[in-house]
Chains A and B, each alone.
Chain A
């Protein structure tokens, strides 16, 4: 009997083992996550996925400011605006940075190479944005048949906006790298070893142009000025086309100034946007609410809900050092002592204090205009254009280090300058008188003594200088200097250009950034830019 009990016991255990092996399969669904089909089953889910298409520009990752989707670069430095800012401002007369962070000094020295971590970050960040947009379009297209009525209208707008953002990304690739690995919603994601083909400058230009024109012709976007803040509308499509055509000669060798006039005029006349009476309110912590009439598309940040170490948090904290009081700029616990301008930028203004031109927003006490050492913060005037205080001089919620100020990607002021420049460069569809008026409308706003500050005639160099006054630190300078042929040449110098304190020209291959070595290593379809 006793023996039987044990035999039964052993048998039970063996049986248990067999059951254990069957009861739990090896197929798992990760916790706290859902499939694409679940996300795209509702309008709300689709909108939350669209929020990621946009958030990809604002954040480095989805799990707080320390998280990132990119490897090979510090998370805090790897968001789109900070990377773009480094590449398009530190390489010019508009900014120097005191820090010795990996890759940063390469920009002043104009000596970057294919291993520069910031360029790696910028390249992959933009292509990440493309990939998220592609995935969105792919999944949303697949569920279109299940949506009806208002939900379907919304979904179609989401798809159109994703296509617009993707076109914007490819324009950035064209402008920065002159080429791009080319993927659309039809390209596989995460499967096998798919190697995207490389799109040349010409084909990228055509693709961006045709996508934008298609979005415009089919009225796929929300009507201009009718979308929610921080979402793209039809005016964005026109604004990007205007920008693309302004620089067409740089990109393809063929000038398209007449087209630039066509689309900038559309934004100005039918876009519904208006210049803010107060220039500075465009760059303060409440530029997302009452002060957004001029911003056609902004990246929205929030000190509490959209935290990162890049974007305006970077721009504002990095501009504060020396004897500046961080709290006065809305970051009581911040102030990283990094960025200042070279003397060339303050020198564009009639006086550095801003009495004539209120866009002259420099902090001078304890600072010297000349830069003896790039690593000394008090050498060079920092710009305090961007601040984390509201137009009523209040702190936004959660003001400590993270900033709430939005970053404008498209602003109406730029469109006036595009139209004026395109006229001066021989485009048709507008007049010299209109060009002068477009130029003066910005000077009028900038000055209390508007009549005397208006110009009576302008030449091309005036437009570049005006862009320096109006658009500085908004990531335009590199593109502008290249369009004017001044970026690498020794015609125009600024302190520390090419790593020399008096400035020096560098080889023209630096007009384009190199593709990162890490992508070249894994994708044999890619051909490096000349000179790298």
Chain B
């Protein structure tokens, strides 16, 4: 371990030394300027000499300077989003590039290399910075919400720094990892949820490292043939993030800033104080013994939700400089992001730095990319249990109470003894203000990529890429002794607890690639071979906790000071891309992965893939069809795997000592027990086989560009918790490779330039995807008739109630519920359900009375972006829609009953206004009444941009205003129809954000 680190360090050091070496000088200099059709300079456009690796990029004014020799004849000029041009050297100094919706000659980053978009054989979608969502963007994933067909981005709530859940083409696994692989500037990042150890405080996703302002392009590999080169890491697809690069010439600085105000979009509907009083009094009228409850009511009218939420201010400042020093292009950026949560006390302050250097040496034969990103955050985390407590706390009480022993807050106490009612709901405001959870995170991520063109063998490159990610999150929570929320601690009330988690990930890649044009046989060969090594190590630190008087909390002394865990993946891979006559493209790849998570005989897995494309438009018979700009047919087939999402050591039998609160006493001595761990010696890879057929087309000179894809996936050896025969292991249920699942779908993406006038332009990007997952096997043998499936989806309320189920023939996580019976007036009849198996009794699920009532996953998702531009103004509207997704309204099922309003544990509880609709007294958790259609159309983002243009001699200014989460159209009765997983239970509400921003280049 130590030795390897040293070697890795030595490698980095060597590369850094190389950076300092000077490059070659050349003969004459040509200069020119590149603009778009409106005369706006194109910054960072690429200018290369045809037939040579030499080239440069334009500066902030669109100007380039390039050394040429007398033998150079032609320049290739290209820029992202524009048609490239070939210009002979010596012709006009001004080059105008015309914009296209999506350039076929655009270079797209694929695994371990790049490819021209026109030559792609797989299903690959790419979004460039100009098409990103704008506004208050904390993390990169929000940039592409609604932008790519078949890619759903669901934010996990409105907490500052909260990441999103990205799903590519439905769910790829049920119990294994379902997050895509993220690749940052060529570095595969570790999966953040792979070993069950909680992620580092304040870093929710590996990409929290990243300042969204630094991102130039996001590419998604959707089909197995594209992603199979990442083998076992890519079963859920691949998201490749590429940061902005340096430019040539004088340094160009950009400063941009924005300020955002976030407000809560919708309160949960609960009874007002008046409605609450009426209800309690009406109960007393029926049952005079309940008058004790009437006596408990206070005289206030408190809207607890209003009290805990605030208008959250977020500010964002980024400063970057790019240019070339000596022969080395660079880009350096600094960012600050300060974000308040709409829940009071929530606060995140994030500082980021990005350093990107691209030196070339040896006549450009050696190219080195250095990417370094750093982040430091300081957060105060709000106690999110206030969200639920604010909905249920008695609205007749005022937040504060004179003489209260609980920090001056009103809390429920025993009316005779004055002792705290420990089981009662806690004051939401006290939950926030008496909880002092401060955390910090420091992280660094980066890689050095060296590409050396081996002399004398044209087209042969040796590549080494060393990357790392190091994070550390740590913090402390302090709750005072007079806080009701920690009053039940022993020996005394209050809590001081510390936490810390460190992650270290290193990855080494060594690659040979050979790219060769063979004009004599009209062929092009692109061959790579590589070896990679990746190790992910996590250390969670265990600390003892204290009460407010600094006495050690009973049972909290850890037995082990840390919980370290690590796993290693070693891979060999190879790929051939063969192009014949620029018409027929064949890709074949193979990857061999070996993981430390499996026993030696299951360790190795081979992931092959093959794909082909036919550029039909290149055929003679279409040459006369002028309206058809391009047409390509693609087909692919490949295998990927999954090893993430399971424990690092689950195949090994071991004993561990029990914790100090789980000792056992013999005589008068307590013993930490040696506990044998459950293990599955046979655990192995999940495997996904997938086929994809696609058609890419471009019409009317790119005015309409589109792609249609059909895919069919079959996932086998799915990790599934499966019953273990009693008596054969140290548990009744183990993760084993039991299940199979199929997945198929259709995707359509269209980019249409609807109106193209002199000053006015209207672009529409639209995507729609249909996806259907079906479980096909979840047991080893033939299940018995009493077997309904594997329950999942725990809900709030009751203990251990689960609302979803995995059943063969249905979508994963389908709701499994009882069919509510309704009266003549359309009123649900409490406790009365349809006896579906006609056995005379209603048995709660899993039973023959329950049925599968839809799934939380939307079969159809859509995204649409409209961009209108008029002179210097542009207006962008991004909308997304999910059709056919269902939600279990857990807030209504738990709070929409009257039984607990006069709580038998001697306090009062507020209820959801759903009681006026359902009139339920007792909870009906399993009623399908609560499974609601949660289809929605959400206008995600409306933004206005004004290019002020030149504000000083060398400065240009851009102004923008955005509104995010503008409105939602849905029939769902809860707060928000978009909850990952389909169970709506007191999520942190997504704010509605209003942002204004300015961006200055100088």
Contact = CB atoms under 8 A, between A and B. Distances in A.
Is the A/B pair a real complex?
Answer: yes
B800 A300 contact: no
A266 B368 CA distance: 87
A6 B362 contact: yes
B458 interface: no
B603 A131 contact: no
A426 interface: no
B282 interface: no
B663 A306 contact: yes
Contact of B732 (A39, A71, A307): A71
B826 interface: no
Given A17-B508, A305-B660, A517 B784 contact: yes
B673 A52 contact: yes
A222 to B, nearest CB: 11
B661 A524 contact: no
B80 to A, nearest CB: 31
A1 B648 CA distance: 48
Nearest to B923: A100
Contact of A9 (B15, B724, B801, B843): B15
Contacts of A337: 904-905
B665 A400 contact: no
A166 to B, nearest CB: 11
Contacts of B662: 55, 59, 61-65, 67, 306-307
Which one of B4, B562, B567 has the greatest number of beta carbons of chain A within 10 Å?
B4
Given A51-B673, A74-B800, A32 B656 contact: yes
A16 B508 contact: yes
B158 interface: no
Nearest to A524: B781
B40 interface: no
Contacts of B682: 192
A521 B779 contact: yes
Contacts of B659: 62-64
B730 A131 contact: yes
A192 to B, nearest CB: 7
Contacts of B656: 32-34, 62
Contacts of A131: 727-730
Interface string A33-67: 11110110000010111011011001101111101
Interface string B640-673: 0000000011001111111111111111101111
Interface string A286-322: 0011000000000010111111000000000000011
A398 B488 CA distance: 10
Nearest to B9: A16
B417 interface: yes
Nearest to B454: A10
Nearest to B448: A13
A521 B8 contact: no
Contacts of A115: 786, 788, 843, 846-847
A19 interface: yes
Interface in B434-481: 450, 452, 455, 462, 464, 466
Contacts of B783: 521
A449 B459 CA distance: 106
B596 interface: yes
Contacts of B94: none
B667 A229 contact: yes
B464 A10 contact: yes
A459 interface: no
B417 A124 contact: no
A76 B656 CA distance: 21
Contacts of B923: 100
Given A17-B464, A401-B488, A518-B723, A304 B555 contact: yes
Contacts of A130: 727
Interface in B519-546: 531, 533, 535
Interface in A179-234: 181-183, 187-196, 228-231
Nearest to A48: B674
Contacts of A34: 654-656, 674
B780 interface: yes
B407 interface: no
Given A27-B600, A28-B567, A229 B665 contact: yes
A196 B728 contact: yes
B362 A3 contact: yes
Contacts, number: 375
B948 interface: no
B487 interface: yes
Contact of A33 (B14, B667, B677): B677
A114 B723 CA distance: 14
Contact of B664 (A55, A289, A378, A518): A55
Interface string B164-185: 0000000000000000000000
What size tier do the contact residues of chain B reach?
35 or more
Given A21-B533, A228-B666, A16 B8 contact: yes
A55 B665 CA distance: 9
Contacts of A45: 674
B779 A132 contact: no
B678 A69 contact: yes
B326 interface: no
Nearest to B738: A522
Contacts of A19: 3-4, 7
Contacts of A455: none
Contacts of B450: 9-10, 13
Given A20-B4, A229-B666, A337-B905, A72 B733 contact: yes
Interface stretch (A255-263, A273-281, A325-333): A325-333
A36 B731 CA distance: 18
Contacts of B905: 321, 335, 337
A187 B667 contact: no
Contact of A101 (B362, B666, B798, B904): B798
B682 to A, nearest CB: 7
A58 B664 contact: yes
B554 A304 contact: yes
B799 A517 contact: no
Contacts of B69: none
B269 interface: no
B40 to A, nearest CB: 41
Contact of B366 (A6, A98, A132, A229): A6
A21 B795 CA distance: 46
Contacts of B721: 71
A521 B800 contact: no
Contact of A305 (B560, B661, B724, B784): B661
A288 to B, nearest CB: 7
Contacts of B904: 98, 321-322, 337, 376-378
Which one of A17, A63, A191, A230 has the greatest number of beta carbons of chain B within 10 Å?
A17
A446 B665 CA distance: 30
A-B complex: 3 closest residue pairs judged by Cβ atoms: A74-B800, A71-B733, A333-B488
Given A52-B673, A195-B725, 17 more contacts: A12-B10, A13-B450, A26-B600, A28-B652, A62-B657, A63-B662, A69-B731, A101-B800, A102-B800, A115-B846, A128-B730, A196-B727, A305-B665, A375-B899, A518-B733, A519-B725, A523-B725
Interface of B: 1, 3-4, 7-8, 10-11, 14-15, 18, 21, 361-362, 366, 414, 417, 419-420, 422-423, 450, 452, 455, 462, 464, 466, 487-491, 508, 510, 531, 533, 535, 554-555, 560, 562-568, 570, 594-596, 600, 603, 648-649, 652-668, 670-682, 721-733, 779-781, 783-784, 786-788, 791, 798-801, 841, 843-844, 846-847, 899, 904-905, 922-923
Interface of A: 2-3, 6, 9-10, 12-14, 16-17, 19-21, 23-24, 26-36, 38-39, 45, 47-49, 51-52, 54-55, 58-59, 61-65, 67, 69-74, 76-77, 98-102, 111, 113-115, 117, 120, 123-124, 127-128, 130-132, 134-135, 181-183, 187-196, 228-231, 288-289, 300, 302-307, 321-322, 325-327, 332-337, 375-378, 397-401, 517-524
5 contacts: A69-B731, A70-B733, A113-B847, A134-B727, A333-B423
